[in-house]
Amino acid sequence: MSGGRRVAAGYFALQAVCGLILWSAIALSSTVRSGFDLVEGRPAVTDAYFFADLVAVAASAATAWGAWRDRRWAVVAAGITVGTVVYPTVYLVAWVALDGTASPALAVMVPTTVLSVWASWLLWRAEQPHAVR
C-alpha cells in the first residue's frame, strides 16, 4: 500500500470516529449543542443533519476500509464522502454569513471539508499509473 493510501485510510477512519464523537457530544452536552444549534430553541433544525451525517460517517468508514484494503472503488467512496461534507459546509458558510449563528459548526466543517478533499486527492493520485509513490 502506498503512503498516500495509508494516510487517506487513516484520515477517513478518524473522520468516521470523530463524526460519531461529535454527535454524541451534541446529544449529551447542552453547552456543545448550543454552539451547534442553527436556530436557538429549535433543536430539530440541527438534528435534521443527523441522518445525513450518518451517511458521511458510513462513507468515511467505507472509504477508510477500501483504501486500507487497496480497493479501487475507495476513490469513488472518497468522492461520495466529499459530497457529504461539501454541501453542508457551503450551506453553513451562507448561514453564518446571513444569520451569525452556528460558527462552531462551520469551524468544524471547514477543516473537515479541506482534509476530505485532500485525502481524496491522495487516493486518486495513488490510482494513477504515472504517480510517483
Is the residue at 86 inside a domain? yes
Within a domain: 61 = yes
Mention every residue, 6+ apart, whose C-beta is less than 8 A from residue 110: 89
Residues of the domain holding 34: 3-126
Confirm whether 73 is domain-assigned: yes
pTM, two decimals, is 0.91
42-97 pLDDT, tens per residue? 999 999 999 999 999 999 999 999 999 999 999 999 999 999 999 999 999 999 99
pLDDT tens sequence across 93-118: 999 999 988 999 999 999 999 999 99
**What is the reported pLDDT for 132?**
58
The total of structural domains in the chain comes to: 1
Inside any domain, residue 131: no
Residue owning grid cell 486518486: 124
Q: Is residue 132 part of a domain?
A: no
- CB-hemisphere CA count at 13 Å for 106? 14
User: pLDDT class for 127, splitting at 50, 70, 90?
Assistant: confident
